[in-house]
Structure 1
Amino acid sequence: MEHDSKLRRLLIGSSLLVVYVVGYFFVHGYFRQDNLRGAEYKSAVASLPARVPASAAGAQLNRMIEILQSLERGGPQEMLGLGFDAQPLNDFLGQDLYDMQATLVLLREGQLAAAESKLELLATKVARAQSRSVRLLQTLSALGLILAGGLAVYVLYAGVSLRRHWQQEITVLSEPDGLPLIPTNFSELLEYVVREESSFTGHHAKLKISGADTSQLPSPLSMIVEQIVEQMVRNSVQHGGRPPDVRVMSGKPEFMTVHVAIKETDSDYIVAVRDDGEGIDCDEIVARAVELKLLDQAEADAMLLESAIKLIFHADFHSANKQLSLSETDQSLGELRLLIKSVGGFISIQNQLREYCQFTIRFPKDDIEVKTIG
């Protein structure tokens, strides 16, 4: 699951990078073309002051007036042999608006010196607007490179992280002094179960074992205890565990601890499996039992906590959100209860929602025998 998350981040990052690069070239191309048109505009307008006629020659003066009116409207322009499309003058200048009508009045009245000064002011404002366009293009280019670089670094990081995760998986499974692929004793089997179920579900857990070893138990009890404990450990990781970030947010350690204890007294063999996971939600158990038609709503409403929690041992009870298990012999708690009864054992539960859950099994020494349960 962690592998899927890393792969998803890599795919998302790569897709964003490709989309961004394509989009950047389109946007950058548009602004670059706009900047080139601005440079042509600037070059043409810069020549206007020198073209003010020395005398008020009618045709030449009228031509100058036509040029200025054409610049004011925008569109195709022909000046100094340059053919280009220009924005309307005030749109190009932005906040540096230009009083075209005053310039035209000066030209028509023959006040050429004043008109020349106005056209020099126009050339200055056009140059300033074009300079802003250049700075905008430069800023866009710099930001584009920074953002593209950031996305590239993210994709590289996601790729390296995914590769490292893949290498770690292969390395852990192949280390000569690591966990054997085939456990040699029951403790190693439980370590293997916790590790594999943690990887499968994303519910990180660690195992703690204390007390006697199952090899010290009499036959057939040893095999039955191993079967029961293995399944209960699987159940703890599957149903009691949560992803590390969820546990941390609820104030718990990142890893859930599954504690297995086997103890021998003068009269009993005692086996306990405890975890600091989510515990058993009795309300959910009762609701699920109603859904499975194991009891009706009136019975559910009147049911006491002690009776409600026992429903998980009903032969037909199973969780609605039961995950697929790595075990090919996955057993329900009802089946485990029958197995415990087959050797004269008893089971008890200690539970606190969101805190812990513990199953304790007592096998009286005097009653250990294989029984047939009808």
Structure 2
Amino acid sequence: ENRFAKGKWQNLTFNTGFSKAIFKEYSFDFIHNSKKVLMAIAVFVVISIISLFSIGMNVGIDFTGGRNYIVRFDQPVRTGDVQNALTPYFGESVRVITIGSSNQVRISTNYMIDEEGDNVEQELRDLLGEGLQEFITPGQTIEDHIMSSQKVGPSIAEDMIRNAFLALTIALICMGLYILSRFRNWSFSLGTVAALAVDTFAVIGIYSLLWKVMPFSMEIDQTFVAAILTIVGYSINDKVVVFDRVREYMHLYPKRGLRELFNDSMNATLARTINTGLSTILVIICILFFGGDAVRSFVFAMLVGVVVGTVTSLFVASPVAYRIMRNQQQKREVKAAK
């Protein structure tokens, strides 16, 4: 009180320039600008489809069938040198990536995966020993360097593919049903499913475009499927917040136009959407740079999913729901006029 009596601390503020920019009142026309974003998404989808057919994806043995060998050497090795050394023995079916330290690699191959017999595994290990002879420590054998091995048969791989698609389909349907049960409006459900489908395909497209150039493995395996399902679960939160505000404004301002209602709702939740997205992205980036190689592929998928999910919440889910509701409203007006 003494400081206030002397005229001090009269203009205290707890805001910064950044917080003022984040928490100010926005008046952005999301509905109008969504057309540009949807066009950009359409272009990206076309590019991704072309990439999927031309470049393909780095599909792991979980979905193709094959064997994995974790091999540790005494000295650092380059994956390109190891792969070139094994190609004459395994053909083009062999892939090598670094796991953990620079002296440890994972060798994946589906060579002889359809062969049955007790001697197949030993024959493959003998081929590994011949191909990696120059990397093996003198006086040791390939058995001394193999840390672990894993086999996935063709039938198991087919089951995994089917289960992965089934899990994703069920997740999308359940999210749509959840939105329908919560908001009692199927236009919100269609908007949500459309946005989640874009989120999912965006991650797949990015992985197809970048798996040959990124400095870490971007393999399509069960971890990737887990990342996709996690993205679906995370992304639904933004959609729920926006749609909840739309429903609230519909009751508070029944005479306000539908387009204005949607824009006002998205502007009202924009600060929350940005803050949530940025805080999540910051944590993910920290894990991406400082986490181990084993989690980088999962974390990168999450990063893409969070960024795209934030965008689709504003420029796909809500605009799609708006256009469906607008068409319904126009049909009711035509019937009323008759």
More strand by share: 1
Quick check: which one's helix share is greater? 2
- Asked if TM exceeds 0.5, the reply is no
TM-score (norm 2): 0.26
Structure with max Cα Rg: 1
| Larger RCO (CA within 8 A; separation ≥ 6) | 2
Return the TM-score normalized by structure 1.
0.24
